[in-house]
Amino acid sequence: MVRTERDSGTERVATLVLKADVAIIGAGAAGLSLAHRLTCAPTGSRRLSVVLVEAPPGPLRPPPRTWCFWEAGRGRFDAAVSASWRRLRVHGPTGPPVEDDISPLRYKMIRSDDFTRLITRDLARHDRTRRLEATVDSVDGLTEGALINAHTATGEARSVQARWVFDSRPLGSLPAARTTLLQHFRGWFVRTDRPVFDPAGAELMDFRTPQPPTGLSFGYVLPTGPRQALVEYTEFSPTVLTGDGYDAALRHYTGTVLGLDDFEVTGTETGVIPMTDAPFARRTGPRVFRIGAAGGATRPATGYTFTGIQRQTAAVAAALHQGRRPVPPQPHPARSRAMDAVLLHALDSGLVDGADFFSRLFTRVPMTRLLRFLDGETRLYEDLGIGLHTPVRPMLRAAARVPGLPRRPFPGA
């Protein structure tokens, strides 16, 4: 609808107002996943009208990136999966690597451009889903919903009135936490002249990299063919590197560690993921909620987010289709978050050596069990068994300290 105003006998257009059952702000993994689930309504459930508000091209739109996760069998988004692996390797600082078959799981990689194309194609088939390219200025609560005020790239005002609003935009600042580390990385998509990669296996963590004073670093190799791979350098530490610092680390890893002497860099990706024990507010108004990383979907101790997003958006969509209040759930169990808080403090304080900690775990615990643990799907007795393969005394010291640590704002950007 178009809201108009009359002024001195003339009529001028003020704002284009769209009305919908659900409005979603942001078209990243969380926003697109929720829109997709809402359009796939179960038989007999009410069809919902949806408006997806996406930022115009520019600094508010996230750059292309990759998401990795693991699952058993065929998945909902397999059409967007660019590669997957059944065998994973972990290389300690010294010695031979640990390699394991993670069947029935597969480790999968989705590139954001492929994911966006898949979801866009599916959304186009549903006449009750609309997309609006605009920058959101404010979200105001109403008696029975909320009003999104926005403007287009040309400055035209747009508004969306919805019964429920789900905001997936990144937070401007992190909530206060006892411990916050950053998972920061740069990856090169490389192409070699000769076949040097094994497409059947991926290097999940390779600790043959210089370790920072706090936290840890590792290499990461995801082959997409015998001559192509995504090669990344990753750190868990309090501060990010300069661009030259990442490139120097990647040159060392590709040349000195992997022995790649002749390759072409066909693309890059850079990212920063907060790893924090901060509580994330999932509600900002009576009918306005946060989803995705802004709603706590990132697993604090690993930085993996895609699976948490799917759990969260599936629960929200099910509630809406069933006519229930769609409060986004915590994507990770309380026990998992408590253990993550202990590990983050142990890494940040230097109580444990990060490279040794993870190498030891993967050496002594089957990878499939560890991946289930990282998804929060293990039982208490399994968690205790995994805990016995960590440095027990330092971890107990960290566990004793964590409850008394103050929560402070994160000092960095």
Measured at the CA of 321, the angle between CA 317 and CA 322, to 5 degrees, comes to: 115
123-164 pLDDT tens trace: 999 889 999 999 999 999 998 999 999 999 999 999 999 999
* Res. 322 pLDDT band, cuts 50 70 90: very high
Q: Write down the pTM of the prediction.
A: 0.92
71 vs 61, higher pLDDT: 71
Residue 413 binned pLDDT confidence (cut-offs 50, 70, 90)? low
| CB 165, CB 146: distance < 8 Å | yes
Q: Which residues are registered as beta bridge partners of 180?
A: 276
The answer, yes or no, to whether residue 334 has pLDDT greater than 50, is yes
Mean pLDDT of the chain: 93
In which element (H, E) is residue 342 found? helix 334-349
Per-residue confidence (pLDDT) for residue 13, from 0 to 100: 42
Q: Which of 303, 227, 226 is nearest to 68 (CA)?
A: 303
Q: How far is CA 126 from the centre of its chain?
A: 27
For 183, the 3-state DSSP assignment is: strand
Residue 33 phi, psi (nearest 5): -65, -45
Q: Which two tokens stand for residue 73?
A: 């069998």
Concatenating the DSSP letter of every residue in 377-401 gives: -S-HHHHHHHHTTS-HHHHHHHHHH
Helix (H, G, I), strand (E, B) or coil at 346: helix
Confidence of residue 10 (pLDDT cuts 50, 70, 90): very low
The side-by-side arrangement of strands in the sheet containing 228-237 is 98-101, 87-91, 201-206, 216-225, 228-237, 180-192, 263-276
What does the pLDDT average to over 396-404?
Answer: 97
Lowest-confidence region among 40-44, 195-199, 240-244, 385-389: 40-44
Taking a C-beta distance cutoff of 8 angstroms, is the pair 71, 107 a contact? no
